[in-house]
A = this chain, B = another copy of it.
Amino acid sequence: MNKAIFLHRSIRKYKSDPIPEDLLKNILEAGSRASTTGNMQVYSIIVTKDEDLKKQLWECHFKQNMVLEAPVVLTFCADFNRFSRWCRLRKAEPGYNNFLSFFTAAIDALLAAQNVCIEAEENGLGICYLGTTTYMANKIIDVLKLPQLVVPVTTVVLGYPDEQPGLTDRLPMAGIIHQNTYKDYTPHDIDMIYSLKESMGIYQQFVDEHQLESLAQVFTEKRYTKKDNEFFSEEFLKAIRRQGFLQ
């Protein structure tokens, strides 16, 4: 069992210690070894250490302090720009300004990101993914000066941990695995799958704090609301369209 995988926890507090250049290089190279569609490597990784730029990214990421604290911010981008430029310089007409190509490139970027995280954690670093990347893609495009056919899909902050959180709960494996085909969930299945989570003190506290009736309501009414999801859907689609991946 891979220790980094099984002991993974997101780190939200970082020491100010910088990451040695050799180590960072090695971690990024781990990213480049991930599977990639047709070996095209249609992604880019933006390594941001500059304080002023990190501050601008911090604004993009809802001012989560770990963006300022962690010495390195990695923005993983779906990138068909480099490949298309290569094509044009080689008398080949690229046809990658479409949604399939965006999604293909996003897969490449995300697999590379996970390799980077595992290699980082194996070397004593902590990581945290920032889901705010898709919400704020348009602003991130401006800050990082992303050209056409480049869209940020996730961000990872990287640094030496200044906290030691416990392992986070997960649903029972039977809740996420299906044998052969998808078996839809009965109300009984749902009760079984979510019972452990619902019984945990930390989640009951969320429910009480917000004076709600259930943990599910914390998600639908506070954390991931329909209104926000719809707003940020439009924003993210706008970014994909603006960068030339959707007509």
Instruction: Give me the interface of A with B, judged by CB distance under 8 Å.
Output: 1-2, 4-6, 8, 10, 25-26, 28-30, 32-35, 37-41, 43-50, 53, 77, 81-83, 85-87, 89-96, 98-101, 103-104, 106-107, 110-111, 113-115, 117-119, 122, 127-129, 131, 134-135, 143-147, 150, 153-154, 168-171, 173, 175-182, 184-185, 187, 190-191, 193-194, 213-217, 219-221, 223-227, 229-230, 232-233, 236-237
B91 touching A37 by the CB < 8 A rule? Answer: no
**What residues of chain B lie closer than 8 Å to A95, measured between beta carbons?**
220, 224-227, 229-230
A175 to B49, CA, bound (A): 19
A90 to B197, CA, bound (A): 13
B6 touching A33 by the CB < 8 A rule? Answer: yes
B50 touching A35 by the CB < 8 A rule? Answer: no
A129 to B30, CA, bound (A): 18
A4 to B157, CA, bound (A): 23
Nearest B residue to A100, CB-CB: B233
Contact A5:B33 (CB < 8 A) given known A131-B104, A182-B144: yes
